[in-house]
Structure 1
Amino acid sequence: MAELGPASPLPPVQPLLEPPYTVGNGIPEEIADGSRWGHAKNIFPYQLQDAYSRETSPTELTAVVLENEHLKATFLPQLGGRLWQLRDKNAGKELLHTGNRIQFANLALRNAWFAGGIEWNIGTRGHSPTTCSPLHTAIVHAPDGQEVLRMWEFDRLREVVFQIDAWLPADSKVLFTAVRIRNPNDRAVPMYWWSNAAIPLTPETRVIAPAARAYATGYDGSMTVVAPTDFHGTDATWPARNPHAADFFFDLAPNQRRWEVAMDDAGDGLALVSSPRLRGRKLFVWGENPGGHRWQDWLTPSGGGPSASGQGSDNSPGSESTVPRQYAEIQSGLAQTQFEHVSMPAGESWQWVEAYGNAALDPAIGGGDWDSAVSHGAERVEALVSAGGVDAALDDAARWADLPPSEFVVAGNGWGALERSRRRAAKLDWIDEAGTPFAQETLTAAQAPWLELLQANEGIVEKPFEPSASEAASQPFGGAASFVRGLDWEDLLTAGRNESAEAAFHHAVMVHARADSTKSKDMETVAGLYRRTLAKVGLSPASRALAHRGLGVALLSAAGTGGTAGKADFAAGTEGGAAGGVAELVAGCAAQPDNRWLLVEAMTLAIAHGAPGEALALVGRAPESLAGVGRVKFLGALAHARRGNPGEAARMLRAGLEVADLREGENSITALWQEVCPGEDVPERYQFGMH
């Protein structure tokens, strides 16, 4: 696998990139309403995971295997609890798409993501903040002798706790997973959950769900009602027939049993079945075009097995060969589509069961007309796992949910333990941890400064960090490399006895993260906090660099707010406006010249705000190790083009460059090639177009 690398030190205060979808005629008001609210402002306090490369090496991971005479399921708890493999031993087939290596790419909310298996997504639209992080993992022994794999974590975005219980009864042909989400807050929170399964793709693969219509999105900004069997003249239920990337959210009737199946030329394939709460069903396809093929090769560099034609793929660096079809995805979620959030009431606990196995359809019937295929699929799903069987599994899950773990396998992060301490200090409700303990031993240096801040101000003493309250109180807040959010944290940081340059910096960051970047008044407040921080004595070099960066981002946000009240006066000053914002970003890079994250962001924003010369100056002053980073090289080429030197940009592109963290749907390299190399075909290695 690739090495994930360290998390970005930059607090993610900028808005999430959300494509503006146009809701077409026929879209139910429920979906339209659900898509308008609940979106997370940003992913703060999580930090980006974007320091990976395209180099892979043998890496040891902890795996948990559940196996009986019918199935073998392999989980990777250190990587978001991913169900990495599910093998049908009777048919001799792997039901999930997996490669022989794990390569990270920029598709998740925190950037890093990898293809294959079944992943669990919580919080807001996108691949989960925990998809490339360890989950707390243990084995639970139920009173009836059933062994249960349990994985759990505290989601810092919605401030809820989720757990995944997985078990495989001795004679079962399906693997059961039970998901429980608990909202300990005194307010309703927007909730999002989707379980995404990657399935092997051949020309004969078909996906069936009990619906006559679907809500389709094609990465072009629109959502429309379609017949999945007649999408622009194509039967889209055969994934390999789709020319472009697309999502199809099947419109299952409220009283319809929740299922979706994939089948190959022999009728074998994954069945995704659930209890009613998991309402949505989706098919995702990459599309049969150079961009779709390139993305699949990018995500599964080994090719994931033979191509559809039976030939292997040349995956050497810079290869221009035709990339084979590799995988599609079938998914299930809480809402009808992935553009919606559902409201989870205060103090509520939700639980549902998912079942995975081989539906083993008759290929002659399953491949027939849609109504016949759906009818046959329903029969095979019922034979595989009946509705009563799913209900019984849900009852089992409810009985087991709070059983204490018997054997711990992997430790997650310490943020759950810190959250418990925070809530105790603030006298707020918290969950019953009997079945999902957040042990103090999971606290690390990332949480230590924040726990010490609580101890100093609330008298809380919990191992392993336990300075005396009087000793800690005599020391002002010393800073942290991690981030937290919440008004109670802000109150602690601004209390007189904690006031310090580091406390002022973190307070400015917290206000920035919750501010509205489209309102000049908010950005003016944020800019003032950063300026006061920079005026203080005792700020560490790293925090000083990030304070300059925060001030620069705030100034640029304010400069781009159009006619917002107060913007003109704010941006007109010598310390404001786009020029002032870029100058602050440059100052941040000067304060910490070896920080690749500062360099990339400063170059990106300088070019975007009409200062390509500043971007070139930045890379000219950067250490050689940073100048060679693929993203930096691309930004350098882009800056040359924007400064009127397309020849140098063309030379750099022709020489070859690779941007490891290219964003899903990002066509920047293709666009630059077409600009500086007019009339020349775009090399396949640069073709990542999604539509």
Structure 2
Amino acid sequence: MKKNLIIIFLFIFLYPAVYNQPNGEVRIWKDTLTIPTYKIHDPDVNPMFFRNQSYQGASRVIYPYPLMDNFSNIKQDKTYTALYLENRYIKLCVLPELGGKLFYATDKTNNYEMFYRQHVIKPSNIGMLGAWISGGIEWCVFHHHRASTFMPVDYKLSENKDGSKTIWIGEIEPRHRMKWTIGLTLFPDKSFIEVNVKMFNRTENENSFLYWANVATHANNDYQIIFPPSVKYATFHAKNSFSHWPVTREEYRGNDYYKNNIDASWWKNHPDPVSFFAFDLKDGFLAGYDHGKKAGTIHVANPHIATGAKLWEWGPGERGSMWDTKVLTDNDGPYAELMTG
């Protein structure tokens, strides 16, 4: 059985601009990228068979993967394989050694970073297998925060008949032996990234799966998250707490703060870490917009397939900002996650 999903990431900008690249062509190439990286010591060669723990509402089954939780404060330059796509509007970089993360995408018309761009690799003990890094787009396949998000994946570079070019990444995951592959495509003279998601159940067994694109964006007091106008309510992970959207009028997750007519669409209005899922999503987009930079990012997909949209943020308060401005980065500041799938 195979499932396909095509999604599109667009740049938002408020003025026309054209930047020349010869014949509007798309370039694709493989190179290296050197990034300061905090060292993780080698994991135990014997995978942990079982640990009676919950991970985001699921059993934390680690086997047959290694547990990567032996962190250090040793920072040193490390050179990674880097895959690049570029046209007259966009330049993007994918790191196959770090789970196929879309590491950055730059709008060449205004130098806006479409996604949260890290200048350091600083893992922390957040993932299913321990090591997890923030920034860019994390491809969450089969299980939320994919188990192999900090591990190498396969890749292939393709040139297409219409002049577009595609970076393919993917793997066969060892737990259920299912396969996923994701293609990122740029077209000549078009200012969007097309993402083609394919998931395969290669086995004779029925297996559950999910898919989320964990899209990190730079956030500040001018940053606003935009659910479709038809979204009137938001909910928490297990649908055990609801609020009006965008202006909250009720307690949310036991927090009376949200009774005070809070405009929850603004990053600055959440003092602590929080999640809001769009309830009963009918329209196929989710966006974030920086009013100060007059630029932003929008995700567009078939709403009958990509049925979810979510805001997650650490928040500007002391407890949350410790994580996204100190634990997970050195100097790249806070971020929000616009998750969709």
* Residue number in structure 1 paired with 2:243: 226
* Residue number in structure 2 paired with 1:271: 298
* Residue number in structure 2 paired with 1:214: 234
**Is the alpha carbon distance of 1:158 and 1:275 closer, same or farther for their aligned partners in structure 2, counting shifts above 3 Å?**
farther
**Is the alpha carbon distance of 1:240 and 1:163 closer, same or farther for their aligned partners in structure 2, counting shifts above 3 Å?**
same
**Is the alpha carbon distance of 1:103 and 1:229 closer, same or farther for their aligned partners in structure 2, counting shifts above 3 Å?**
same
* Residue number in structure 1 paired with 2:28: none
* Residue number in structure 2 paired with 1:553: none
Question: Is the 1:56–1:101 contact (alpha carbons within 8 Å) kept by the matching residues of 2?
Answer: no
- Paired amino acid for 2:120: R
Cα separation, 2, equivalents of 1:145 and 1:19: 42
- Paired amino acid for 2:39: E
- Paired amino acid for 1:198: A
- Alpha-carbon deviation of 1:159? 2.2
Cα separation, 2, equivalents of 1:116 and 1:163: 20
Question: Is the 2:287–2:297 contact (alpha carbons within 8 Å) kept by the matching residues of 1?
Answer: yes
Q: Of 169, 176, 187, which aligns to 1:169?
A: 187
- Alpha-carbon deviation of 1:44? 1.6
- Paired amino acid for 2:201: N
Is 2:268 the partner of 1:240?
A: yes
User: What TM-score results when the alignment is normalised by the length of structure 2?
Assistant: 0.80
Alignment: residue pair count: 289
Question: Is the 1:85–1:117 contact (alpha carbons within 8 Å) kept by the matching residues of 2?
Answer: yes
- Alpha-carbon deviation of 1:10? 4.3
* Residue number in structure 2 paired with 1:628: none
- Paired amino acid for 1:331: M
State, as a whole percentage, how many aligned pairs show the same letter: 24
- SS of the residue corresponding to residue 270 of structure 1 reads strand
* Residue number in structure 2 paired with 1:330: 338
* Residue number in structure 1 paired with 2:136: 117
- SS of the residue corresponding to residue 63 of structure 1 reads strand
Q: Which has the higher contact order (CA 8 A, sep 6+)?
A: 2
Q: Please list the CA deviations of residues 34-87 of structure 1 after superposition, one character each: whole Å capped at 9, or x if unmatched.
A: xxxxx4561321121112312211110111111111111111111000001111
Cα separation, 1, equivalents of 2:64 and 2:267: 37
* Residue number in structure 2 paired with 1:17: 54
Cα separation, 2, equivalents of 1:297 and 1:275: 34
* Residue number in structure 2 paired with 1:280: 308
Q: Please list the CA deviations of residues 244-287 of structure 1 after superposition, one character each: whole Å capped at 9, or x if unmatched.
A: 1111011244xx33111100114311111223312110000112
**Is the alpha carbon distance of 1:41 and 1:207 closer, same or farther for their aligned partners in structure 2, counting shifts above 3 Å?**
closer
* Residue number in structure 2 paired with 1:436: none
**Is the alpha carbon distance of 1:252 and 1:86 closer, same or farther for their aligned partners in structure 2, counting shifts above 3 Å?**
farther
- Alpha-carbon deviation of 1:240? 1.5
Q: How does 1:353-502 map to 2 (within 5 A)?
A: none
Cα separation, 1, equivalents of 2:309 and 2:240: 16
Cα separation, 2, equivalents of 1:137 and 1:115: 21
- SS of the residue corresponding to residue 100 of structure 1 reads coil
* Residue number in structure 2 paired with 1:56: 75
Question: Is the 1:98–1:115 contact (alpha carbons within 8 Å) kept by the matching residues of 2?
Answer: no
User: What TM-score results when the alignment is normalised by the length of structure 1?
Assistant: 0.40
* Residue number in structure 1 paired with 2:43: 7
RMSD: 1.9
Question: Is the 1:12–1:47 contact (alpha carbons within 8 Å) kept by the matching residues of 2?
Answer: no
Cα separation, 2, equivalents of 1:79 and 1:142: 26
Question: Is the 1:43–1:157 contact (alpha carbons within 8 Å) kept by the matching residues of 2?
Answer: no
The structure in which a higher percent of residues are strand is 2
Cα separation, 2, equivalents of 1:302 and 1:288: 16
- SS of the residue corresponding to residue 62 of structure 1 reads strand
The structure in which a higher percent of residues are helix is 1
Cα separation, 2, equivalents of 1:243 and 1:208: 19
Question: Is the 2:124–2:328 contact (alpha carbons within 8 Å) kept by the matching residues of 1?
Answer: no
Is 2:93 the partner of 1:74?
A: yes
